Copies of this chain bind each other. A is one copy, B any other.
Amino acid sequence: MLPLSQTTGYALRAMRCLQEPGGQPVLVESVADYTGIPRSYLSKLVHKLAKKGLVTARRGHHGGVVLAKPSAEITLEDLSEAIDGVAWRKRCLMGLAGCTEETPCVLHDYWKQTLQEILVRLRSVTLADMARHQDPGVERFRADHGFLTTVEAERDHAHA
């Protein structure tokens, strides 16, 4: 189990297709089409994210999904935690049940530190930071839906 599951990857890509809070809702179907994430699976995923307070979904006419918080306030850790939970952080790297601080396995200290670095990283990267991320499906979606391009976003940011 790598730190991020495939599903968390899905969540990340999907959320990059959503507008900031108050913006126009986006259809699950539309996101699925562009990203290649299976529709039904994405639907459940979105629901999960909604329960965790990361997105807001509304059904019926003109329904869709929007970010529940500014993208700059959503970290990778939020996504990881919402989808994969935190159990993996506590397991011994070798699956040894008796591996504790007192009776550590050979990789215990090493893994403890690596884990710490991973967490720091997950916390430091926000959804907004992902703009620099190259993802064909997502880029096409954003272009087709009038998102600012990475360059424009950078310029706006510089102005502010």
* Of A49-57, A100-108, A143-151, the one touching chain B: A100-108
The DSSP consensus for interface residues of chain A is: loop
What distance in Å separates the Cβ of A154 from its nearest Cβ neighbour in chain B? 15
A29 at the interface (CB under 8 A from B): no
How many chain copies does the complex carry?
2
Instruction: Given the known inter-chain contacts A88-B2, A107-B121, A130-B106, please indicate yes or no for A94 contacting B9, CB distance below 8 A.
Output: yes
Give the docked Cα–Cα distance between A12 and B105 (Å): 11
**Shortest CB distance A15–B (Å):** 12
Contact size class for A? 35 or more
A6 within 8 A of B: yes
Q: Report Cα–Cα, A4/B106, bound state, in Å.
A: 13
